[in-house]
Structure 1
Amino acid sequence: MNDNIQPFTPGGAPAARADVEQLKAYSAPLEGRRNMLRLDFNENTIGPSPLVAQALRGFSTEEIAVYPEYDGLREAVVRNLMEGGCRERLNPDQVGLFNGADAAIHAVFQAYGDAGDCVLTTAPTFGYYTPCARTQGMTIEAIPYEGETFAFPLAAIQEALTRLSPRLLLICNPNNPTGTRLAPEQIIAMAASAPDTLLVVDELYAAFTGDSVLPLVDFAETPNLLVLQSLSKTAGLAALRIGFAVGHAAVIDRVGRVTGPYDVNSVAVAAAFAALADQSYVDAYVAEVLRARDWTVEALQQAGVRHHCDGGNYLLIWPRKPVAEVDAALRGEGILIRSMAGKPLIDGCFRVSIGTTSQMQRFMEAYLRLDP
């Protein structure tokens, strides 16, 4: 039980469900990040397209006073995906809108997870999957990544699919925090081999690898595959919380049934339209991040610093000093990183997001000075 939870006593606050009483909520240190070099949460580090700022400046008081309207937004998402190479001719009813990808993940568990059901995933991976599963009373089977390169445990996952027949299989691709990548063809084949399992592929970082399943998948043939994306990591809309689920219309319908009618606010809708209309801005930002990632890896190699980099706009570094000491020292320099303390396989390292080349030069100068 979470040590911070006080047991229910007569006359005190009512106890929550047993699964919630025993839950340790997913937490992220969000305070005190303004005016810092934000290399801790894998956000866009330069901000969104100027079209987004223009749309928000033009937001009227009337629009604030009425409930959100979503006319045309699903169609805009479909156009963006089709222009990005999506194989299937998607329909708007195959796109779900959510208050960030986190809300989509939560809705998937609410719609498809029941007490005693099994969720299969990997370890380490995005920490929000666990509280969502435990809130529903689900059991969790987390297969560890393999070796020093954190290879995807494909054989072990396939064996567990057969043995456990899990209700849900969650694959973060590329994985946060290890960057591990799995080929889209393998994901689609895995879904086809387990038709009673909903395979959710979390693609929030796929733009940095080109590993999306959408250019290959046919949801009529693989209706148990659901793809999650967002506009936080690439388009710079993290504060506004706008995410998408793409899949078979029947799955989108079921997941949508457990969400509120106005969960996505009007400001996020306006920003999403503007961001989707300026894909060239996103593409240029992604290209700069990839250049900066290459520069950072080369600098780490030259300095003899142990690190791991595969996919995504982040990499792992094992400092010589204790992680907490390095974290505090960098914060003192105005630079934020994310400690991986306590995570399986990677305890003792930290994750650093990749920004622009100039931002990474600032990070490397400070890091090599503070952890020589």
Structure 2
Amino acid sequence: MTGLDDLPIRDDLRGRSPYGAPQLDVAVRLNTNENSYRVPEPVVEAIGKALAAELRDLNRYPDRDAVALRADLAGYLGHGITAAQVWAANGSNEIQQQLLQAFGGPGRSALGFVPAYSMHPLLALGTGTRWVPAQRGVDFGLTADEAVAEVRTHRPDVVFLCSPNNPTGTALDPAVVTAVLDVAPGMVVVDEAYAEFARPGTSDALALLPGHPRLVVTRTMSKAFGFAGGRLGYLVADPAVVAAVQLVRLPYHLSSLTQAAARAALAHRDALLGTVDAIKAQRDRIVGTLRDRGFRVADSDANFVLFAVGGDQATAWRTLLDAGVLVRDVGLPGWLRVTAGTPAETDAFLTAMEKLS
């Protein structure tokens, strides 16, 4: 039987494993930062009607540029953003891949501040972009001076900044983004997949877009909207950036059904985003309870919490799994990450954590 090593794949892909989190059948799954709340029935009905309206025309290609969807996304974002500044794809991963196809590639580099989203170096690998990992501080923070020093040293073609950061949950001071924009020779991508969960007073990067044509903000409907299965991510940037990614996007990459479902979800955003405050409450409950029990916990502006286990994280992960709770081992020695879910899921997690006390 032919194995992977028998095929003439690229040398830099040999020995690699595909990205993925364990998909195990356990009672409480809190490992992939999904929204634990099911789609409300009125929204289910609205999406169903939107999809039904597209079915007879599936013999035709979809709107190649998803103009109506981009207009709806611009309306949701505010800040005076227009459809010409928005581009949508099958999740923010595809958006970021397109950005690296357009602005990275062989002979170019991308820099990120780790620990951060583990897909960024994989996307760099897949596009032939050299990955440069710069380290965050011991508290997972990132100051403007630290970020500027790394950018000046490595002069990357693309800089990834995550706010809130995954897996730590920490948000960036906008001054860090501004400082990086002032010295970066190429594009600056701010990954804001968890922006809707930020604590009051936390700023996003959308306000920095005017006057910064090399700034890109990427977002997703997977988390706050509870639309992970719908696969819809998007970027916001200068219209010239949208024109650049259109050079590398696959034709008709966003299906008619995806566009229709996403537009229906956006039309019912109040119902879908109604779970955000409940999730934030459980996140803050997890942070407070674990700290009261003596655990070290990172500040979080996301829908998850990173916490130290005081020992081998793989052993701690197995202990929680044996108790029926699946969390994420992100490969950070001594730390695990848990998604903030429903009150009942939080109860189960905190009860399981007693085994680690």
Aligned twin of 2:220: 230
Q: State whether residues 42 and 354 of structure 1, in contact with CA within 8 Å, keep that contact through their aligned partners in structure 2.
A: yes
Letter in 2 for 1:363: F
Instruction: Give the 3 Å change call, closer, same or farther, for CA 296–63 of structure 1 in structure 2.
Output: farther
Q: State whether residues 94 and 249 of structure 1, in contact with CA within 8 Å, keep that contact through their aligned partners in structure 2.
A: yes
Q: CA deviation at 1:355?
A: 1.4
Aligned twin of 2:133: 142
Equivalent of 2:9 in 5, 9, 16 = 16
Q: Any runs of at least 4 consecutive aligned residues in structure 1 with deviations exceeding 6 A, and if so which?
A: none
Is it true that 1:73 corresponds to 2:69 in the alignment?
yes
Q: Secondary structure at the match of 2:242?
A: helix
- Deviation track 1:119-167 (CA, whole Å, cap 9, x = no partner) reads 11101111111122223333322221112x2111432320222233210
Instruction: Give the 3 Å change call, closer, same or farther, for CA 336–256 of structure 1 in structure 2.
Output: farther
- Deviation track 1:216-266 (CA, whole Å, cap 9, x = no partner) reads 2244x1000001001001101111210001101111111122111222223
Aligned twin of 2:203: 211
Aligned twin of 1:352: 338
Aligned twin of 2:302: 312
Aligned length: 347
RMSD: 2.3
Aligned twin of 1:371: 356
Equivalent of 2:275 in 267, 282, 285 = 285
Structure 1's unaligned 5+ residue stretches are none
Instruction: Give the 3 Å change call, closer, same or farther, for CA 26–223 of structure 1 in structure 2.
Output: farther
Is it true that 1:198 corresponds to 2:187 in the alignment?
yes
In 2, Cα distance between equivalents of 1:161 and 1:52: 44
Letter in 2 for 1:120: L
Letter in 2 for 1:27: Y
Instruction: Give the 3 Å change call, closer, same or farther, for CA 49–133 of structure 1 in structure 2.
Output: same
Q: Following superposition of structure 1 onto structure 2, how do residues 1-372 of structure 1 map, counting pairs within 5 Å?
A: 5-6=4-5, 13=7, 15-21=8-14, 24-33=16-25, 36-58=27-49, 59-60=51-52, 61-69=55-63, 70-82=66-78, 86=79, 89-147=80-138, 149-194=139-184, 196-209=185-198, 210-214=202-206, 216-219=207-210, 221-320=211-310, 322-341=312-331, 346-368=332-354, 370-372=355-357
In 1, Cα distance between equivalents of 2:146 and 2:316: 35
Identity percentage over the alignment? 27
In 1, Cα distance between equivalents of 2:322 and 2:255: 36
Question: Could you tell me the TM-score, scaled by structure 2's length?
Answer: 0.89
Q: State whether residues 218 and 234 of structure 2, in contact with CA within 8 Å, keep that contact through their aligned partners in structure 1.
A: yes
Q: CA deviation at 1:288?
A: 1.0
- Deviation track 1:299-345 (CA, whole Å, cap 9, x = no partner) reads 1122222322332111112225643333234334442200133xxxx
Letter in 1 for 2:77: L
Q: CA deviation at 1:356?
A: 2.7
Q: Secondary structure at the match of 2:74?
A: helix
Instruction: Give the 3 Å change call, closer, same or farther, for CA 170–277 of structure 1 in structure 2.
Output: same
Letter in 2 for 1:73: L
Letter in 2 for 1:29: A
